Amino acid sequence: MCTHIKYKPYPTVKLENREWPNNTATVAPRWVSTDLRDGNQALANPMGIEQKISYFKILVEFGFKEIEIAYPSASQTEFDFCRRLIDEDLIPDDVTVGILTPSIERHIKRSFEALQGAKHINMHLYNPTASNQREVVFNRSKKEIIDLALEGVVIIKKEAEKFKGDVVFEYSPESFSQTELEFALEVSNEVIKAYAPTYKKPMILNLPNTLEASSPNIYADRIEWMRKNINNIENVTISVHPHNDRGCAVASAELAVLAGAQRVEGTILGNGERAGNVDLITLAFNYYSQGIDPRLDIKKVDDILNRVTAISGLSVQERHPYVGSMIYTAFSGTHQDAIKKGMHHYKQGDKKTWNVPYLPIDPQDIGRDYKNSIRINSQSGKGGVTYILKEVFGIDVPNEMQAKLTQEVKTISQERGKEISNEELFDIYKNIS
């Protein structure tokens, strides 16, 4: 049965003079952690207040300057968490805390109440705009959807005037990824017109991949098309919130930045609904590996992840880009030989430019050593065997002995069906030397 025929291809974008493919990233975007809001709501066992406070402190330590902390109108726990952060003066002066609110008056007022006393806040308004939500879930016309958004803008502007701290307004046409592009533009321009952002008081327009439904290049086309057609764009920051339903969230975020996005919302390790949010760890390291300041204190990443996973119950997959336990490890003989020679060349040079085969970044940048870059099993070659003996034990294996030693190591590993430890390798060397 051909069940695939019930799915329709995602519409492409008629974009003349497409710019993003020729753009190059030179700075990292503004990062927004939504671990405490979007990430938390995806956990089977959501964090309690004390856990969220600990998590918030970790995010601050890591370098996040914008943190979406809660949906305070959704529950008393969310509200109380906001109050704890503010009442106990836990928010640094250079950090903006944000919340998410629907376009409903009581929710908006409750959200402002939750953040009263904070110095810098982000009031994030959203309402669904996709046709399947308009027609199936809410049974509202396009005009009614626009009116709903504008009602929220009016309430937020009124409440912001009474708020003593700095208020940044953010609007999301929820499910932008599945909203007709022309309607997404229409509702966004109406919101921008109503809020009337200025140079001194800009606003954020967030264009979320709420459900990742297209390839990253089409998402980039949509972002560029919106950027080129949005009114008052000089006073609007384009933000993206990519989900990972197709496994392309990182690529979608990077291409969206090339298309004009200046801000990316995501989570540590990509925690989030369904297949998760964009992983800000991978994304930050992607910029870092291109010589761009990642705007996060990545040298602390292992410690940060140990503490985050202890709180959330998440785990770091061993093959997770940049931070997995196996990322800087090679078993293959050809890979090991290339790493060995690359490391030798790096150490003999000026050490200004990293260019070692199979190692995306210098492991020492995140506090790891080179000893685990090469591990020995039946797939390993003499390059790996001699490298370990030299680096770990200071032994230079004679050329005439290398082939015999390597074959013995491979045979033993094959017979045992497992990896050879460094200590076992040393014993094998002693036995045949």
My answer on whether 254 and 294 are in the same domain is yes
Helix axes 382-393, 399-416, angle to 10 degrees: 100
My answer on whether 66 and 142 are in the same domain is yes
First to last CA, the chain: 65
Residue with tokens 């014993």: 427
In a domain, 427, yes or no: yes
Q: CA-CA distance, 266 to 280, in Å (whole number)?
A: 6
Inter-CA distances, 150 with 183, 230, 431, Å: 15, 17, 80
The answer to whether the beta carbons of residues 305 and 280 sit under 8 Å apart is no
Phi and psi based region of residue 271 (left: phi greater than 0; alpha: psi -120 to 50; beta: remaining): beta
385 Cβ contact partners less than 8 Å away, ≥ 6 residues apart: 376, 397, 402, 405, 406, 409, 425
Task: Identify which of 152, 167, 256 has the alpha carbon closest to the alpha carbon of residue 204.
Answer: 167
**146 is written with which tokens?**
């626009």
The answer to whether the beta carbons of residues 111 and 101 sit under 8 Å apart is yes
In a domain, 150, yes or no: yes
Q: CA-CA distance, 14 to 394, in Å (whole number)?
A: 62
325: number of CA atoms within 13 Å, CB side? 6
In a domain, 153, yes or no: yes
pLDDT block averages, 10 residues each, the chain of length 433: 88 95 98 98 95 99 99 96 98 98 98 98 97 89 97 98 97 96 98 98 98 97 98 99 98 99 99 98 98 98 98 96 94 86 88 91 93 85 87 90 90 90 91 85
My answer on whether 360 and 282 are in the same domain is no
- Tell me which of 312, 346, 373 is where a domain ends: 312
How many structural domains does the chain have? 2
In a domain, 323, yes or no: no
The answer to whether the beta carbons of residues 203 and 170 sit under 8 Å apart is yes
Residue 229, pLDDT score: 98
**DSSP class of 11:** P
My answer on whether 92 and 239 are in the same domain is yes
Helix (H, G, I), strand (E, B) or coil at 210: coil
- Model pTM? 0.93
The answer to whether the beta carbons of residues 250 and 279 sit under 8 Å apart is yes
Q: CA-CA distance, 240 to 225, in Å (whole number)?
A: 14
My answer on whether 222 and 146 are in the same domain is yes
In a domain, 175, yes or no: yes
Q: Which residues pair with 203 in a beta bridge?
A: 169, 236
**238 is written with which tokens?**
């384009």
My answer on whether 306 and 231 are in the same domain is yes
Long-range CB pairs of 196-201, under 8 A, 24+ apart, other chains included: 196/232, 197/169, 197/232, 197/235, 197/236, 198/235, 199/234, 199/235, 201/235
In a domain, 286, yes or no: yes
Residue 244, pLDDT score: 98
My answer on whether 307 and 342 are in the same domain is no
Residue 1, pLDDT score: 65
Residue 98, pLDDT score: 98
Q: CA-CA distance, 120 to 118, in Å (whole number)?
A: 6
- Kindly report the CATH number assigned to the domain that includes residue 288: 3.20.20.70
Helix (H, G, I), strand (E, B) or coil at 243: strand
My answer on whether 39 and 121 are in the same domain is yes
Query: Residue 354 class from Cβ within 10 Å (0-12 exposed, 13-18 middle, 19+ buried)?
Result: middle
Domain range for 230? 14-312
My answer on whether 394 and 299 are in the same domain is no
My answer on whether 197 and 241 are in the same domain is yes
In a domain, 325, yes or no: no
